[in-house]
Amino acid sequence: MKETAAGFTTTSNTKAFDRSHRKTINFNMSKYNAAVPQGKLQFAELHLARERAKNIKWKAIETLDQQLESFEAAITKRGAKVIWAEDAAQALDAIKKICEEKNCKTLVKSKSMVTEEIHLNHFLEKQGIESVETDLGEYIQQLAGETPYHIVTPAMHKSKEDIALLFSEKLGTDPSLNPEQLTLVARDTLRAKYRQAEVGVTGANFIIADIGAVAVTENEGNGRLSCSMPKTHIVVTGIEKVIPSMHDLALFWPLLATYGTGQRITSYNTIIAGPRQEGETDGPEEMYVILLDNGRTNILANEKQRESLYCIRCGACLNACPVYKNIGGHTYASTYSGPIGAVITPNLQDLGEWKHLSHASSLCGNCTEVCAVKINLHELLLENRHEAAEEGLAPFGEKMAWKIWKIAMLRRKLINIANGSMKARVINTIGKAWTQHRGKLDFPKKSFNQQWKEKSGNK
């Protein structure tokens, strides 16, 4: 078993039995579960809205090259500079050059999973640049030295007591502070950083092709401050975030808000179409947009997997997944966790290394059921498994097990050689794989054939 897969199995085994983790997750997800049905009420035809969103994303992804070129042409006209990055190294190199040019010592950053994907904070730290997360959840995670636990709610696994303790350890605050007081502490610290920062980095929830702009959605106003207070604004975004027209936001904004947090609309929705224009009083002097591929064109080239590029990162599939709820986000050890992470990580990175994530599913289909843009997630998980098997990536033991299983299944007599108690002994004792977390199996004394013959009177 590969190291990543072995690590996943070990951590899953521990996390699934961690009651305190389960309690916090259940509590935080119960708030989400209560809010989402309320948000959904705003749609007269929810099913049609999701279908329409899927069709728009289908169109955008099928014409991705044209959409991105249209975006580049329009935003360039308004003074922004577009940089195409094939991989993380090219994106980081571009950011480094900009930071050097601006003599950047402090950089403020709003929540962005793409910058997690390229490990931007770690990279900047090595360059001697302080990179400060300004989203409260991300800020908490940065203080704790952890990666985001969830794509929408980075600190979902922490209780308010955990956070009060963390602030007291790292910032010297009173450990009995309540959530409002803790938020004010973070706010004071971060406001100073906005004034200090030479560069602000944001992601993009959507790249708008027709008008040449990016749309950023957030609940705290930190994204807006990150892109407008520093003199230089860098957007780092995956190329799949494109939507053809600004009119499409009328559908995508409420859809993302409802499926992400249960809101009707997120508190701050900003459209940025370039740096400060002549005659304008605020905004950055310069704006760069880094369009990152980093494996996305591999997914685009695969007709079956292409659908996964429709994802708007609402996080609904994570909240609905029984596996995610038990093992938690960090167990995946990948930037994107939950069902969508299990689908795209093996394709963005390496199928051999990450295929085990596609097996971390009960295939109940709940992820597909709740997906804001109706991606057939559970079928894509099966497709990953299929592709891994086709490429011969299964370990030797697994291949042998399936061979033996096939021989036995095709020859009823072989299965009937062992009686019920022998079968029970084998399953209940060998490797304890079954009984480690489950009750013992008890097989019927008579085989299926014997019972069938008896019941049909053909003794």
Which residues are at the interface with ligand SF4 (CB under 6 A)? 259, 311-317, 340, 370-373, 375, 377
Other Cβ atoms less than 10 A from the Cβ of 125: the count is 12
Structure tokens at 236: 């780092």
H or E element: which one contains 306?
A: none
Q: How far is the CB of 113 from ligand SF4 (least distance, A)?
A: 10
Q: How far is the CB of 305 from ligand SF4 (least distance, A)?
A: 13
Q: How far is the CB of 5 from ligand SF4 (least distance, A)?
A: 23
**Are 255 and 215 contacting, i.e. CB atoms less than 8 angstroms apart?**
no
Pinpoint the alpha helices (H) of 87-159. 88-101, 113-117, 120-126, 136-144
Q: How far is the CB of 321 from ligand SF4 (least distance, A)?
A: 9
Non-local CB neighbours of 177 within 8 Å, separated by 6+ positions = 164, 167, 168, 185
d(CA 149, CA 157): 7
Residue 266 CA to chain centroid, in angstroms? 19
Residue 235 CA to chain centroid, in angstroms? 19
Pairing relationship of beta strands 206-208 and 199-202 according to DSSP bridges: unpaired
**Are 324 and 362 contacting, i.e. CB atoms less than 8 angstroms apart?**
no
Q: How far is the CB of 371 from ligand SF4 (least distance, A)?
A: 3
List beta partners, residue 206: 215
Q: What angle do CA 183, 188, 193 make, to 5 degrees?
A: 120
Q: How far is the CB of 30 from ligand SF4 (least distance, A)?
A: 19
**Are 333 and 146 contacting, i.e. CB atoms less than 8 angstroms apart?**
no
Q: How far is the CB of 243 from ligand SF4 (least distance, A)?
A: 13
User: At residue 224, what is the residue type?
Assistant: R
Q: Measuring CA to CA, how many Å separate 80 from each of 211, 212, 275?
A: 13, 10, 6
C-beta closer to ligand SF4: residue 93 or 379: 379
C-beta closer to ligand SF4: residue 244 or 338: 338
Other Cβ atoms less than 10 A from the Cβ of 279: the count is 5
Q: How far is the CB of 146 from ligand SF4 (least distance, A)?
A: 21
C-beta closer to ligand SF4: residue 139 or 324: 324
Q: Measuring CA to CA, how many Å separate 70 from each of 243, 246, 269, 401?
A: 11, 13, 22, 52
Structure tokens at 428: 């209940």
C-beta closer to ligand SF4: residue 67 or 366: 366
**Are 109 and 132 contacting, i.e. CB atoms less than 8 angstroms apart?**
yes
C-beta closer to ligand SF4: residue 345 or 447: 345
d(CA 65, CA 356): 32
C-beta closer to ligand SF4: residue 229 or 316: 316
**Are 263 and 211 contacting, i.e. CB atoms less than 8 angstroms apart?**
no
Pairing relationship of beta strands 213-218 and 206-208 according to DSSP bridges: antiparallel
C-beta closer to ligand SF4: residue 85 or 320: 320
C-beta closer to ligand SF4: residue 75 or 367: 367
C-beta closer to ligand SF4: residue 106 or 294: 294
Q: How far is the CB of 260 from ligand SF4 (least distance, A)?
A: 8
C-beta closer to ligand SF4: residue 265 or 424: 265
Q: Measuring CA to CA, how many Å separate 137 from each of 25, 140, 187?
A: 15, 5, 12
C-beta closer to ligand SF4: residue 25 or 312: 312
Q: How far is the CB of 436 from ligand SF4 (least distance, A)?
A: 31
Q: What angle do CA 369, 308, 204 make, to 5 degrees?
A: 105
Q: How far is the CB of 68 from ligand SF4 (least distance, A)?
A: 20
